[in-house]
Chain A
């Protein structure tokens, strides 16, 4: 009897919760579909110069608005045609993901750091700290994101740095909400109390005990906010106050092609499809992590 019990219990004990979660993630269909699309877009963005011979900013005014290859007038020289300034659209599509991804990851680092710090502090200390942080959070939620971002970018001048800072400083709310409730749930658990009892420093408790135990929800929010940041950048670029030429993103490509909607809809459909695929892939990966780390929160 005893040998059976130990034989079945041993492999379970040998795996840490992190390993179990990783294993489950790797068996999740959505993770592979989303991760696959994400990988293709990432690799294309990084290896862009190897994938196309065209310079995405080179203007050939003699070859403006060449239709894509599926059109009778298209050719393989420009598989996706050219835009209104005669730039190769395939090259612009491949390079276009670069800035979007850069802005997305940079802003998630900024907003994640701010939101997680505030959320853990509010959840761990509670009381007045919680009240104060909740108030700051309410103020942030009360401010309309797109409008504030537009105003700041318009007045402070829109460099890439300012754009990343503004988006990062605006999108920390969900990080704070999620880490706060996750911290509250574990703040009174035995291992935290034990750490306090043996005299661990507050810093140790926050970073070594709490932070590792909220990584699941943290990854889920990070995926949501990564998508959110990229969408916000696209919206700002679409309104003409985001990324500025010569830099460009899919959002800016859509903005520049706006007036071609009636006669050359592919100029919008191509970068639009890329943007949707990217957001969709990020959401799929995030959903997969959520299914694995918090199955009860599935809705």
Chain B
């Protein structure tokens, strides 16, 4: 087990290192950061001045090493637009995205696991069909459109919930539903297939033969096994949600990391963009690592094989 964890830790560290190179070089390879920062009507001298001030004229590997060195020392750079440290700006926006991500995942799990179990218990019945259609419809619905639909129904027609901002917990309900719904089909399908497999296995048959209650058989002996891959998928989905929250945060004006990224892209706020890219990518890498370790802890076949 220890060997497995160390091995996965090393791979994750390597992934984050390479991702940081991509995150850093993305803005350099795809355009001229100095020109982007100076704006469209800037004089050539001004662009040159910015280039020198921010060190864009130095070789890219040198800039990267300086950037990584500062990052590791806890200095995330400065936002040239907000005139603030990037660390402060991120710390201000991070809690909103974290709250949104966790609530969205809770919504997705709360909807998809019961549906998946119900579908597996009654395959090819109306329950199964309805669950399948929820999944199919979910895959066809763009998240921003779903978000606008929620705003229209609950914000405009019914006036039940606030649709913009992040002042109260009510503000998080619609964005969490909009973001979480997107993860529902995958989790539901996996729960259903895992549950069907578990229910057909020998130990579930044995448990039934022993006369245990149906509920006990389903939850203790079926779901416990079916849930292993779901945990892994849930962690991965949470990572996807953090990356995809940019659309939802923009629609609902939630001032989280995604919203900040969208604004920073329009302001050509290079250092903020790079930091957000790295933070989201690293979070995703760590979440997959945790999912793998949790999987291995729950299922001995993985850590031995």
Contacts and interface: CB of A to CB of B under 8 A. Distances in A.
Interface of A: 135, 138-139, 141-148, 150-152, 154-157, 227, 231, 234-235, 238-239, 241, 251, 254, 258, 261-262, 265, 268, 272, 275-276, 279-280, 283-284, 287, 299
18 contacts: A135-B15, A138-B15, A142-B281, A147-B246, A150-B261, A150-B265, A239-B246, A262-B156, A265-B156, A268-B152, A272-B145, A272-B149, A276-B140, A279-B142, A280-B137, A283-B139, A287-B136, A299-B189
Interface in B1-60: 11, 14-16, 18-19, 22-23, 26-27, 30-31, 33, 36
The 8 closest A-B pairs by CB, nearest first: A144-B243, A155-B31, A280-B140, A156-B30, A279-B140, A299-B193, A299-B189, A155-B30
Contact of B277 (A151, A235, A268): A151
Interface in B132-180: 136-137, 139-145, 148-149, 151-152, 156
Nearest to A282: B140
Contact of B284 (A144, A239, A283): A144
B94 interface: no
Nearest to A30: B136
B244 interface: yes
Contacts of A135: 11, 14-15, 18
Given A254-B148, A299-B190, A150 B242 contact: no
A147 B280 contact: yes
B247 A239 contact: yes
A148 B280 CA distance: 11
A286 to B, nearest CB: 10
A199 B261 CA distance: 55
Contact of B262 (A239, A276, A280): A239
Contacts of B281: 142-144
B148 A261 contact: yes
B145 A275 contact: yes
Nearest to A236: B247
B200 interface: no
B292 to A, nearest CB: 11
B26 A148 contact: yes
Given A144-B284, A261-B156, A283-B139, A151 B145 contact: no
Give the size range of B's interface with the partner.
Answer: 35 or more
B26 A235 contact: no
A151 B288 CA distance: 24
Interface of B: 11, 14-16, 18-19, 22-23, 26-27, 30-31, 33, 36, 136-137, 139-145, 148-149, 151-152, 156, 189-190, 192-193, 242-244, 246-247, 250, 258, 261-262, 265-266, 268, 273, 276-277, 280-281, 284-285, 288
Given A144-B277, A279-B139, A150 B244 contact: no
Contacts of A138: 11, 15
B30 A152 contact: yes
A173 to B, nearest CB: 12
A145 B243 CA distance: 7
B22 A139 contact: yes
Given A152-B26, A299-B189, A142 B15 contact: yes
Contacts of B151: 261
Nearest to A263: B156
A150 B140 contact: no
A166 B60 CA distance: 22
Contacts of B189: 299
Interface of B is mostly: helix
Nearest to B194: A299
B250 A239 contact: yes
Contact of A254 (B11, B144, B268): B144
Contact of B139 (A155, A227, A238, A254): A227
Nearest to B156: A262
Contacts of A276: 140-142, 145
Contacts of A239: 246-247, 250, 262
B196 to A, nearest CB: 9
B250 A146 contact: no
B199 to A, nearest CB: 14
B152 A265 contact: yes
Nearest to B258: A147
Nearest to A162: B30
The interface centre, meaning the residue of B16, B139, B142, B265 with most chain A CB atoms within 10 A of its CB, is B142
B22 A143 contact: yes
B19 A139 contact: yes
Contacts of B22: 139, 143
Contacts of A279: 139-142
B36 A148 contact: no
Contact of A238 (B243, B247, B261): B247
A146 B152 contact: no
Contacts of B273: 151
A148 B261 CA distance: 10
A39 B281 CA distance: 39
B136 to A, nearest CB: 6
B230 to A, nearest CB: 13
B170 to A, nearest CB: 19
A238 B140 CA distance: 16
Contacts of B149: 272
A145 B152 CA distance: 28
